[in-house]
């Protein structure tokens, strides 16, 4: 059985998952009622700029940035498909950028690719 504790006596949590709960007081100026809400429901629909002060790894099959994006510092890109050998048979999204050891490629339409040679300096 749980013992009563003050919030300041609870153990700290270093990271959140979507099913973690917050306790909130709904309608504090009117008829206050204690309620619960998940982390997903608190942050799921919030569209705010994200600022990171340390390394961040994003793992996703698709990541879309629908506005301006600026990077201060280094941006590390990893080689990705499509390989240059199969681009004749697949449709590419316009704007897809990829590279190999010799070229950087840009799909300028879903059927046209441009490339620029890479050289050491």
Per-residue pLDDT tens digits for 25-45 = 899 899 999 999 998 888 776
Q: Which two tokens stand for residue 110?
A: 């879903």
- Give the C-alpha separation, 25 to 20, whole Å: 17
Contact 29, 44 (CB under 8 A): no
Cut 0.75: pTM above it: no
Per-residue model confidence as pLDDT tens digits over 42-89: 877 666 566 667 777 776 666 777 777 777 777 777 666 555 554 555
Pick the closest to residue 43 from 23, 11, 17 (CA basis).
17
Contact 106, 114 (CB under 8 A): yes
- Give the C-alpha separation, 50 to 74, whole Å: 17
- Give the C-alpha separation, 29 to 88, whole Å: 64
Task: Tell me what pLDDT residue 13 has.
Answer: 86
Task: Tell me what pLDDT residue 111 has.
Answer: 83
């Amino acid at each position: 059985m749980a013992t009563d504790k003050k919030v300041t006596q609870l153990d700290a949590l270093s990271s959140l998952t979507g099913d973690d709960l917050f306790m909130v007081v709904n309608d504090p100026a009117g008829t206050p009622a204690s309620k619960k809400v998940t982390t997903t429901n608190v942050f799921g629909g919030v569209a705010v700029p994200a600022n990171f002060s340390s390394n961040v790894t994003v793992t996703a099959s698709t990541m879309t940035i629908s506005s301006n994006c600026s990077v201060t510092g280094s941006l590390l890109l990893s080689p990705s498909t499509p390989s240059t050998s199969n681009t004749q048979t697949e449709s590419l999204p316009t704007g897809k950028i990829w590279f190999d050891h010799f070229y950087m490629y840009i799909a300028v339409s879903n059927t046209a690719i441009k490339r620029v040679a890479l050289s050491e300096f």
